[in-house]
Structure 1
């Protein structure tokens, strides 16, 4: 089985001074995921794809170039609420959290929901209490606040900057040496969102999905538009019906953007290990890596297959 990892740093519009750092961040995330994938394969770990996805997304969550955890968007009230969702193909297990305040590693808590609870989605204070009981989660406003987020919040509120379609969400899809798949997304939400707003990222089928016979996918962009189309499941359904993954991803991004004007992006790996990377937005930082493939990272553009 050919192992593979794809990562993204969000579909939308990036400030000029973030272009280089976003590409570098995506590359570091892919390298971290690949290193974890190799280590898990060497020790024959059963959830190699999950381990690699977490390793990659943790790099992105800690990078202030992106809008997830450290660098998350501020709500209309100037607070931070993060979401994340994860799913693995071998047993369709899933875990997600939403509207959790001041959390710096949302993907780790989402995994804990998947591995250590009987639920699929926990929100708000209940998710925070669960994380503390499990001994996971790094909480604190100082861990998520950045000068970038503060500046953008103030400029949008003042009408100096357009807050629409700003690059959001980070994510990864991974296929390990066993052919098992994992999809994982993490987000700081939409700038100036109402408190309690939840987008596609923690919603099964819309923001993420993984299935042994369909493949795995993660989405990025304006959550309301992606949820309307249950975007990840729709993409994989089209692949199962015979459409090549890359063509299906490009077509679905174009359709959603065309009908809504929303910035959107999709990453996927089909059951045979063929990757797809597409977006309909000004920018999207992404990277691809595998044991038999050199790490490649870039800003914007779709994967050429």
Structure 2
């Protein structure tokens, strides 16, 4: 029979072994793939190029992701982010965004109206207030106090679509017409990670609805020791599972970015049962510069920009794997 002293020695040894394994998982290889930036959907391609202008000059990942997602925020052709985004059921464009750096600093805005660049307001919340999130009228008043300009974000095209929708009240399919969020993750030349996420939310949502995009841990999470993740699709499901944080924690346990995204998607699918009716997707980047994604429905793609060039990659999917 082992003595209490033997038991304590064994416990200490296991503790050291576990720590060693953890350090093995977190330790970076001699040469990481950096800098690199990844983002959700095809509109991530021009966004990545703007981010790359920062990264390729040795700039900080935080500056890169802000600059990157500002591109679709200002593009009226991207109908689910920023200016020109689909309105809610009342015909009002409301925006959500968050940003997070390598030091666990983060800022967020939700239900923001009449401000074109919510990601920059979110960064101002992070850097100029003691808070993480501001919402609604308070977020707008803060933005105006910081020099942001109030403007009408409902374009003629989005208004026409909203008026047409009112006639039949049919929500557009997320995976076909409503490519909602852009989430962007970057690893800079110094080996630091940052992320940004910004959206106009689900088309024709209830007035006041907020999805996962501005919620740290749900729509975006960054841990500089491990990696970063962002989400797209049905935001309520990401909130219920704290999905992006889950992906990062799975990478902490040793999963590759794609494996972590897949496990998170499969966990959601097991929980909700009727998963074929929804789209959920995750994109992840680890501190070695490895990236990957996984989703429920086929059709989700993500953009990558690195030293070797840029590419748009079709994410693997749960239903696609079963086809």
TM-score range, shorter chain: 0.7 to 0.9
TM (normalized to structure 1)? 0.84
Residue of structure 1 equivalent to 2:315: 301
* Residue 57 in structure 1 maps to residue 69 in structure 2: yes
* Residue 155 in structure 1 maps to residue 155 in structure 2: no
Shift of 1:160: 7.0
**Aligned-partner Cα distance in 1 for 2:134–2:247:** 26
* Residue 28 in structure 1 maps to residue 52 in structure 2: no
* Residue 67 in structure 1 maps to residue 85 in structure 2: no
Size of the aligned set, in residue pairs, is: 277
**Aligned 8 A contact 2:88 2:203 in 1:** yes
Shift of 1:254: 4.1
**Aligned-partner Cα distance in 2 for 1:71–1:134:** 23
**Aligned 8 A contact 1:257 1:263 in 2:** no
TM (normalized to structure 2)? 0.80
**Aligned-partner Cα distance in 2 for 1:117–1:103:** 18
Instruction: Select the residue among 205, 226, 233 that pairs with 1:214.
Output: 226
Unpaired stretches in structure 1, ≥5 consecutive residues: 10-22
Shift of 1:283: 3.0
**Aligned-partner Cα distance in 2 for 1:187–1:277:** 19
Residue of structure 2 equivalent to 1:280: 296
**Aligned-partner Cα distance in 1 for 2:84–2:144:** 22
**Aligned-partner Cα distance in 1 for 2:205–2:162:** 11
**Aligned-partner Cα distance in 1 for 2:294–2:108:** 24
Q: Deviations over 1:179-203 (max 9, x none)?
A: 1111110010112222211110111
Unpaired stretches in structure 2, ≥5 consecutive residues: 1-31, 318-323
Q: CA RMSD in A?
A: 2.0
| Structure ranking higher on relative contact order (CA contacts 8 Å, 6+ apart) | 1
